[in-house]
Amino acid sequence: MWKYVLKRTAYILIALIVIITATFFLMRLAPGNPFAGEQQTMTPAILEQLNRKYGLDDPWYVQYWNYLVNVFRFDFGESMKYRGRSTNDMIAESFPVSLALGGQSLLIAIGLGVLLGVISAMYHNKAGDYISTIIAVLGISIPSFILAGLLQYFLGLKLGLFPISGWKSYMHTILPSIALGLGYMGNIAKMTRSSLLEQNTSEYVKLAKAKGLRKWGVVFKHSLRNALLPVVTYLGPLTAGIVTGSFVVENIFAIPGLGRHFVLSIGNRDYTVIMGTTVFYSILLLFAVLIVDILYVLIDPRIQLEGADS
């Protein structure tokens, strides 16, 4: 296990260097500059001083090397738009909000998805199956930003059950979490249903039924654990989808999360914030994939980690 973790950590570092390199050069190739909107009110001397402060007048290879070294020190630099604020401070301030939103969305997606999948499989070709399938298909079909608007209009404005924007109390978290989690709930429900139907025809399930176990006892004691393996595999893409989806949802609900900072930084050409948030999210997602692989073995010890014994 430890050999595998160390080997995968080395791969993560290589992937991170590739991501940093790609992000750095894409930012430099993009048209415009961070001070484009202020050039009319700036003297050439002030503009030259700002370029020197942020190292924009250095050769590209010097800028790249300095940024690479700073990233591995976990120093993402100072924001070029909000001067006096470091990217690290902005991440520390806004990421807990995004983490809370993402965590609640994951609970909704996994909890409701597994529940619907189990109901659909246990009532195969019956009313419970049809209703669960319809809910899952609707969740997959409606994009999160459309669902966010519908939730704001009907549950927020019309019925007044929830606030439609902001992040001040637990009630403010419900609508954005639902908007972000329901789409992935549908995918998990479909995977759980298909996997559980396959497990229900296996020999060990037939043996458990022959011993007198009731069908729900067989599900929760035997077949569900194996049926959840595809769901665990999906946790990596699910985490990536939740993270990238939060960018849009946070803007719709005016949530002061890291995704909102990222979207605003693109419009502001704030290079340090764009690159800092991209690298930060990349680190999270790369390690999320590693954790998923380890969970795979914990759920089913029969699975061997590739490269663990090499």
Q: What pLDDT score was predicted for residue 301?
A: 60
DSSP states of 207-235: HHHHTT--HHHHIIIIIHHHHTHHHHHHH
Report the mean per-residue pLDDT for the chain: 84
Other beta carbons within 10 Å of 176: 28
Q: For 126-148, what is each residue's pLDDT tens digit?
A: 999 999 999 999 988 998 889 99
Q: For 54-101, what is each residue's pLDDT tens digit?
A: 777 888 889 899 989 998 888 888 888 887 788 999 999 988 998 899
Q: What is the pTM of this model?
A: 0.81
Asked whether the predicted pLDDT for residue 308 surpasses 60, the reply is: no
Nearest to 187 by CA among 242, 149, 251: 242
Report d(CA 294, CA 289) in Å as an integer.
9
Q: For 161-207, what is each residue's pLDDT tens digit?
A: 999 999 999 999 999 999 999 989 999 999 999 988 888 777 777 77
Q: What pLDDT score was predicted for residue 307?
A: 47
